[in-house]
Amino acid sequence: MLIQLSELFTCEGKKKEYTVETSLRTLEFGGETYRILEAPPFVLEIESLTRRKFAMRGSAAVTVEGHCARCLEPVSFVCNLCFDREFAIGEGNGQEEDSEEEPYLDGSCLDADRLVCNELLLSLPMRVLCREDCRGICNRCGTNLNFGTCTCDTRSLDPRMSVIQEIFNEFKEV
């Protein structure tokens, strides 16, 4: 969804509310693909501070699905997004020295999908877990240890003794 900011150029202090509906369905970050399960429309208020400087306010709650970092089971969680910032748009000559390049601005248009995408990237947890005491999966047989146990040998061997262990494995009687 593109929001035209040119209608706010006319006078300082002018405010306008926009109902934003995002068309994002997936989000890729850090080698993980997150599905967006629910993204209800939210209200974004934009106020003209000067001719080219604006303030933006709003909040949204987006339900996202990822995979647990330990057991790889699907996990859904809510990301609360807060849009409370000021931004400036350039005069078109590309020499706006005080403002940073905002990826969600394209000329005098604000791309709401890119804005939501940027905020989602900032609000994603460092590690997604299905629960705090998730036991993960066995690194030998792949059994989900939350649902059962496996019969794998979990002894930690001294790596210096691995050669001797290989000899025992070769001559082991069946």
pLDDT, position 172? 66
**C-alpha distances in Å from residue 110, one per residue of 11, 136, 167, 172:** 18, 42, 67, 70
| pLDDT for position 87 | 87
Torsion of CA 4, 5, 9, 15, to 10 degrees: 110
CA pair distance 115, 121, nearest whole angstrom: 10
How would you write the pLDDT of the chain (174 residues) with one tens digit per residue? 888 887 777 777 788 899 999 989 999 988 889 999 999 999 999 998 887 788 999 999 999 999 999 999 999 999 999 999 998 887 554 444 444 567 888 877 889 999 999 999 999 998 899 999 999 998 888 889 999 888 887 676 777 877 887 887 787 664
State residue 91's pLDDT score.
59
At a CB cut-off of 8 Å and minimum separation 6, what does 84 contact? 56, 57, 58
H/E element, 120 = helix 112-123
pTM, two decimals, is 0.73
Residue 86's identity, in one-letter code, is E
Rounded Cα–Cα distance for residues 172 and 174 (Å): 6
